[in-house]
């Protein structure tokens, strides 16, 4: 550990991250992805700390800000981003040291409120250093056969028209009108959506649903391999959402894909709504779509009562930085 230097990573050093990502996870991600996530965010720039050995980056931890409506007040809440430690430098508590440096930096200007979507293996270690595991986010899906079934009965929704749009202001208006509101809710704006949907890893599509010329809801999706992932959605009622899900079911059939997937906390209002609209879950501990994604929160002791109850948070797929 004595030959390692820990320091804050500068904006012009993001070009060091692709190689470390490759070394750690065998993933090829170019510099543009990290610039998008850490520099172009309208809520502000990232805070990141790196570990260097002989001037080479061998460890990194980054967090980035998001704007939330917390009981009527606009609040900066950071999200835990990439965490990487080179295989040759593991078991030296680098993650803990780099993460602590990030959190101390946050506290210089903001309250310490950090959310994360952890791994099942890493979460127990995070709990030991102060994080709280609030809930498990799980996969919801509609397989291609059910997509075909939905399409056959689409005549029940014949009064609803769904069309793709590039008007993000329209999406923001619909979110503010029909989106679920909780004590802690992400703030939608044109600036936020323009940034969020410019992730270079995916090509996003926005769909608006209307009935009798009244706009009633929206859905955002992208193709991920042989599936369609639903990044966000909201609507006036379950029929509106069923029409939107039926639209992407038809896209799935046309493209000969395996089905639709999204994520939610099963017992939340969002999870219950997905079930009403025909989404399925794998009830077993193994097999396809069985993984759990821990939703975790770190905050100061004085703020625990305000941020450590699962039903206070609106946890939706668009909040997850990897989607």
Task: Check residue 2 and give its pLDDT.
Answer: 56
Contact 244, 162 (CB under 8 A): yes
Task: Indicate the pTM of the whole model.
Answer: 0.94
Contact 142, 259 (CB under 8 A): yes
Which residues are CB-contacts of 107 (< 8 A; sequence separation ≥ 6)? none
Distance CA 270, CA 157 (A): 21
* Spans in the chain with pLDDT lower than 70: 1-2, 155
Could you tell me which residues are beta bridge partners of residue 21? none
pLDDT digits (tens, 9 = 90+) for 135-170: 999 999 999 999 998 777 776 788 999 999 999 999
Task: Check residue 281 and give its pLDDT.
Answer: 95
Task: Check residue 121 and give its pLDDT.
Answer: 73
- Say how many C-beta atoms besides its own lie within 10 A of residue 307's C-beta: 24
* DSSP structural state of residue 235: E
Characterize 28-49 residue by residue with b for buried, 16 or more Cβ atoms within 10 angstroms of its Cβ, and e for exposed.
ebeeebbebbbeebebeebbbb
Which domains are assigned to the chain? 4-135+295-319 (3.40.630.30), 138-276 (3.40.630.30)
Best CA proximity match to 3, nearest among 55, 62, 61, 60: 55
Distance CA 162, CA 21 (A): 39
pLDDT digits (tens, 9 = 90+) for 21-63: 999 999 899 999 999 999 999 999 999 999 999 999 999 999 9
CA–CA distances in Å: residue 121 to residues 95, 124, 126, 257: 14, 7, 10, 31
Structure-token pair, residue 107: 């506290």
Best CA proximity match to 198, nearest among 82, 316, 36, 317: 36
Distance CA 297, CA 303 (A): 11
């Amino acid at each position: 550990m004595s030959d390692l230097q820990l320091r804050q990573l500068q904006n012009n050093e993001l070009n060091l991250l692709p190689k470390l990502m490759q070394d750690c996870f065998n993933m090829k991600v170019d510099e543009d992805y990290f610039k998008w996530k850490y520099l172009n965010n309208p809520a502000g720039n990232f805070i990141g700390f790196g570990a260097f050995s002989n001037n080479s980056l061998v460890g990194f931890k980054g967090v980035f800000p998001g704007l939330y409506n917390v009981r009527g007040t606009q609040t900066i809440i950071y999200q835990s981003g990439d965490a990487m430690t080179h295989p040759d430098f593991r078991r030296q508590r680098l993650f803990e040291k780099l993460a602590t440096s990030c959190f101390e930096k946050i506290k210089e200007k903001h309250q310490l409120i950090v959310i994360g979507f952890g791994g099942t293996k890493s979460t127990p270690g995070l709990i030991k250093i102060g994080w709280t595991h609030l809930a498990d986010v799980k996969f919801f899906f509609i397989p291609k056969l059910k997509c075909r079934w939905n399409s056959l009965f689409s005549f029940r929704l014949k009064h609803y028209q769904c069309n793709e749009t590039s008007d993000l202001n329209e999406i923001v208006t619909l979110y503010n009108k029909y989106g679920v509101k909780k004590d802690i809710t992400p703030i939608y704006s044109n600036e936020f959506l323009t940034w969020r949907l410019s992730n270079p890893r995916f090509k996003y599509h926005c769909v608006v649903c209307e009935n009798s010329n009244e706009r009633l809801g929206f859905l955002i999706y992208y193709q991920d391999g042989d599936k369609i992932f639903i990044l966000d959605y909201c609507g006036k009622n379950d029929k509106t959402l069923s029409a939107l899900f039926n639209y992407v079911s038809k896209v799935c059939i046309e493209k000969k894909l395996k089905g639709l997937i999204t994520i939610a906390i099963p017992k939340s209002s969002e999870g219950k709504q997905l079930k009403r609209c025909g989404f399925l879950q794998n009830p077993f501990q193994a097999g396809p779509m069985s993984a759990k994604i821990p939703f975790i929160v770190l905050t100061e002791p004085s703020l625990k009562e305000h941020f450590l109850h699962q039903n206070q948070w609106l946890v939706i797929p668009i909040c997850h930085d990897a989607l």
